[in-house]
């Protein structure tokens, strides 16, 4: 009858060891879940900031005064509303609180990289009046071409620390006459 008492002590030790192992596994699982949650939050924050940068690029492209040629006296700007005193910075609201303070996107002014003349065969001078300014009779190339610009949009979310830079190319058709002011050194 003395043997069962010794076994009772052994069962207690085994139970305590098992409890310790289960506690360690639960703690490690909780740490792994927290790390995965942090990774997902970082991915979501980066994705939101990237979307904000792309939206700002689209807005800038449609803003008068962003891409040359500029009209006389036209203000050069990327956005119609200034953010932090700059018309090349856009503050956006991603949280839905109607306060544009969540993400700040800063654009560079367009930099002309090249200008390429467009052959006459790509224009319809008869049916399209807009094409007529490009017509050069008995020549292979028209008086118009594509100017290639590059802009850089940098978006930052100060709360999460997410930061994205997007380099975007933009092509714009213009006359070869206007190229000297748009793309110095690239005139055809």
In the structure, what pLDDT confidence band is assigned to residue 4 with cuts at 50, 70 and 90?
A: low
Rounded to whole angstroms, the Cα distance separating 30 from 37 reads: 10
Give the tens place of pLDDT for each residue, 49-81. 999 999 999 999 999 989 888 778 888 999 998
pTM check: above 0.85: no
Give the tens place of pLDDT for each residue, 159-175. 899 999 999 999 988 88
Rounded to whole angstroms, the Cα distance separating 7 from 93 reads: 67
Mean pLDDT of 10-32: 92
Question: Residue 87: pLDDT above 90?
Answer: yes
Rounded to whole angstroms, the Cα distance separating 103 from 166 reads: 15
Rounded to whole angstroms, the Cα distance separating 132 from 29 reads: 70
């Amino acid at each position: 009858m003395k043997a069962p008492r010794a076994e009772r002590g052994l069962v207690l030790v085994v139970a305590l060891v098992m409890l310790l192992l289960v506690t360690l596994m639960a703690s490690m699982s909780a740490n792994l879940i927290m790390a995965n949650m942090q990774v997902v939050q970082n991915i979501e924050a980066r994705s939101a900031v990237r979307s904000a940068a792309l939206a700002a690029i689209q807005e800038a492209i449609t803003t008068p005064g962003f891409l040359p040629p500029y009209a006389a006296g036209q203000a050069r700007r990327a956005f119609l509303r200034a953010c932090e005193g700059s018309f090349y910075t856009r503050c956006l609201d991603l949280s839905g609180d109607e306060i544009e303070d969540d993400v700040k996107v800063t654009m560079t002014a367009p930099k002309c990289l090249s200008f390429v003349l467009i052959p006459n065969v790509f224009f319809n001078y008869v049916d399209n009046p807009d094409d007529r300014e490009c017509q050069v009779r008995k020549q292979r190339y028209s008086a118009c071409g594509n100017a290639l610009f590059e802009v850089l949009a940098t978006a930052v979310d100060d709360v999460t620390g997410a930061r994205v830079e997007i380099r975007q190319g933009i092509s714009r058709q213009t006359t070869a006459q206007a190229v000297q002011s748009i793309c110095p050194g690239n005139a055809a």
